Amino acid sequence: MSEACKTAFGEGPKAQIIAGGTDILPALKYRLKTPGILIDISSVPDLDTITYSEQEGLTVGALVTLRRLAAHKDVREKYPLLTQAALSVGSAQLQAMGTIGGNLCQDACCIYYNLPSVSRQGLDPCFKLGGGRCHAVQGSKICHATYSGDMAPALLALRACVTIADGTGENTIPLNELYSGRGEAPHVLEPGRILKGIQVPPPFHNVGIYVKMRIRKSIDYPLLGVAVNLLPNGKDGALKDILVGLTGVEKSPLLITPPDEIKDTYELEKQTEIMAQAARSKAHPIANTSGYSPRYRREMVSVYVRQGVLQALEIAAGRG
């Protein structure tokens, strides 16, 4: 690992890390990225392990494929939200190739950016291509490419942390600190720093669900992804706690924590509505996808949060 970090550091921005390859290869084929070298981290030891303990929770190496993660016994039993999110990514083949680390570090998407060469040639280079404009939001001074990974909202709602290695050691940060909020470079990893693994705290009595909006039920990126992780069985059927993760609606995945006012109510419906509106107010989808208008996607944020809460409660009721 330290060798990979050092090489990456030495090469600087010319180098790109490759894990499963499903995110970077189309970008290379479309010549959106022209790295001098690709650093293949697949031979780094111990990046493909999954461990679970009641005390420590779940630790997943960055190179664990989504298919393996989804199928892992402890993940299926203790973190069904993760299984569900992993099985919503792309297609079966993309799940078999794509890794959890790669998915979290997935580049932000934009219909004006992710274009093959012929179709792109009529467009001036945008911020993400090193140019000086954003085609999706004309007149904007920044890039609005949208983060569209499916795993991040689920892991955010599970309060996961990630471990980052550099040449000398490693440090662990909450997952939301991995994201920069910048469309042109959505995560904060500078050259020489590599995502090594993910830690998810032990499950409590929480229930999770991932609801994904997309045009087709396979292959597609989320036009909106909502992960709901809640703790039921509060007073009078209200929620004890709830976290919502969002994807596909901003330059970063978003973690929606319960606003203070939620504590003042013990009514499930009000709590749900407060979360739905909180999520909606933070989502700013723009017209840079191949499906549905920003207006519709934003409106659906609250609809999907409500749906997610209901479905999670149904699961909780089923568990008895």
Tell me which residues touch another protein (CB under 8 A). Answer: 18, 21-22, 25-26, 29-30, 38, 40, 42, 65, 67, 87, 90-94, 96-97, 111-112, 114-119, 121-123, 135, 215-221, 290-293, 295-296, 299-300, 303, 307
The distance of closest approach from Cβ of residue 221 to another protein in the complex, given in angstroms and rounded to an integer, is 8
At 268 the three-state DSSP class reads helix
* Nearest partner of 75 among 95, 46, 102, 51, judged by Cα: 51
The distance of closest approach from Cβ of residue 112 to another protein in the complex, given in angstroms and rounded to an integer, is 7
Beta bridge partners of 228: 209, 244
Considering the complex, state which of residue 148 and residue 176 has its C-beta at the smaller distance from another protein. 148
Considering the complex, state which of residue 23 and residue 250 has its C-beta at the smaller distance from another protein. 23
CA 136, CA 112: separation in Å to the nearest integer? 7
Per-residue tokens: 58: 């779940």
CA 64, CA 43: separation in Å to the nearest integer? 13
Considering the complex, state which of residue 136 and residue 165 has its C-beta at the smaller distance from another protein. 136
| Cβ pair 223, 293 in contact under 8 A | no
The distance of closest approach from Cβ of residue 18 to another protein in the complex, given in angstroms and rounded to an integer, is 8
The distance of closest approach from Cβ of residue 68 to another protein in the complex, given in angstroms and rounded to an integer, is 9
The distance of closest approach from Cβ of residue 31 to another protein in the complex, given in angstroms and rounded to an integer, is 10
The distance of closest approach from Cβ of residue 52 to another protein in the complex, given in angstroms and rounded to an integer, is 21
* Nearest partner of 294 among 283, 308, 305, judged by Cα: 283
Considering the complex, state which of residue 180 and residue 307 has its C-beta at the smaller distance from another protein. 307
Considering the complex, state which of residue 115 and residue 231 has its C-beta at the smaller distance from another protein. 115
Considering the complex, state which of residue 179 and residue 221 has its C-beta at the smaller distance from another protein. 221
At 67 the three-state DSSP class reads helix
| Cβ pair 310, 273 in contact under 8 A | no
Determine the number of helices (DSSP H) and then strands (DSSP E) in the chain: 11, 11
